[in-house]
Structure 1
Amino acid sequence: MKWLRRKPTIITAIVLVVFLAAAATLWNVAGARTFQFFGELVDRVDTDEKVVALTFDDGPDPAGARQVLDVLDEQQVKATFFLMGRDLEKHPGLGRDIAGAGHEIGNHTYHHQRMIGVLPSTVAKEVEDTDAQIRKTGYQGDIHFRPPNGKKLFALPHYLAQHNRKTIMWDVEPDSAGTPGTEQIVQETLSNTRPGSIILLHPMYGSRDQTRQALRPIITGLKERGYRFVTVSALLRTA
Structure 2
Amino acid sequence: MTSLDRRSVLRTTTSAAAAGALAAGCAPGRTDRTVRDAAVPRPGARTPVHATRPPTRVPGRPVQLDHGPRDGRAVALTFHGRGDARLARALLGEAERAGARVTVLAVGDWLDERPEMARRILDGGHELGNHTMHHRNICALPQAAAYAEIAGCADRLRRLTGSIGSWFRPSQARRATDLVTRLARRAGYPHVLSYDLDSLDSTDPGAPAVRRTVLDGIGPGSVVSLHLGHAGTVAALPPILDGLRRRGLRAVTTTELMT
Question: Using the alignment, how far apart are the partners of 2:246 and 2:252 within structure 1?
Answer: 16
User: Identity, % of aligned pairs?
Assistant: 27
Q: What is the DSSP-based 3-state SS (H/G/I as helix, E as strand, rest coil) of the residue aligned with 1:170?
A: coil
Q: Which amino acid aligns with 2:199?
A: P
Q: What is the DSSP-based 3-state SS (H/G/I as helix, E as strand, rest coil) of the residue aligned with 1:144?
A: coil
Work out which of the residue numbers 69, 77, 86 in structure 1 matches 2:109. 86
Structure 1: gaps spanning 5 or more residues: 1-38
Question: Using the alignment, how far apart are the partners of 1:55 and 1:120 within structure 2?
Answer: 26
Runs of 4+ in 1 over 3 A off after TM superposition: 139-142, 161-164
Q: What is the DSSP-based 3-state SS (H/G/I as helix, E as strand, rest coil) of the residue aligned with 1:110?
A: coil
- Of 114-123 and 193-202, deviating more is 114-123
Question: Using the alignment, how far apart are the partners of 1:212 and 1:139 within structure 2?
Answer: 29
Work out which of the residue numbers 184, 200, 211 in structure 2 matches 1:160. 184
Normalising by structure 2, report the TM-score. 0.70
Q: In the alignment, is the contact (CA less than 8 A) between 1:43 and 1:170 conserved in 2?
A: yes
Q: In the alignment, is the contact (CA less than 8 A) between 1:60 and 1:94 conserved in 2?
A: no
Q: Report the counterpart of residue 138 of structure 1 in structure 2.
A: 161
Normalising by structure 1, report the TM-score. 0.75
Q: Which amino acid aligns with 1:80?
A: T
Q: Report the counterpart of residue 214 of structure 1 in structure 2.
A: 236
CA positional deviation for 1:141: 7.9
> Which string of whole-angstrom CA distances, capped at 9 and with x for unpartnered residues, describes residues 96-124 of structure 1?
11122221101000000001232222222
Q: What is the DSSP-based 3-state SS (H/G/I as helix, E as strand, rest coil) of the residue aligned with 1:137?
A: helix
What does residue range 50-199 of structure 1 map to in structure 2 within 5 Å?
50-59=73-82, 61-138=84-161, 140=163, 142-150=165-173, 152-162=176-186, 163-176=188-201, 178-199=203-224
CA positional deviation for 1:236: 1.1
The total of aligned residue pairs comes to 196
Q: Report the counterpart of residue 232 of structure 1 in structure 2.
A: 254
Distance change in 2, residues 1:169/1:149 (3 Å): same
Structure 2: gaps spanning 5 or more residues: 1-61
CA RMSD of aligned residues (A): 2.0
CA positional deviation for 1:187: 1.4
Q: In the alignment, is the contact (CA less than 8 A) between 2:135 and 2:171 conserved in 1?
A: yes
CA positional deviation for 1:168: 0.7
Q: Which amino acid aligns with 2:215?
A: L
What does residue range 11-50 of structure 1 map to in structure 2 within 5 Å?
40-50=63-73
Q: Which amino acid aligns with 2:255?
A: S
> Which string of whole-angstrom CA distances, capped at 9 and with x for unpartnered residues, describes residues 49-101 of structure 1?
11100110131632421101111121121110010000001101122111222
Q: In the alignment, is the contact (CA less than 8 A) between 2:82 and 2:228 conserved in 1?
A: no
Question: Using the alignment, how far apart are the partners of 2:155 and 2:69 within structure 1?
Answer: 32
Q: Report the counterpart of residue 15 of structure 2 in structure 1.
A: none
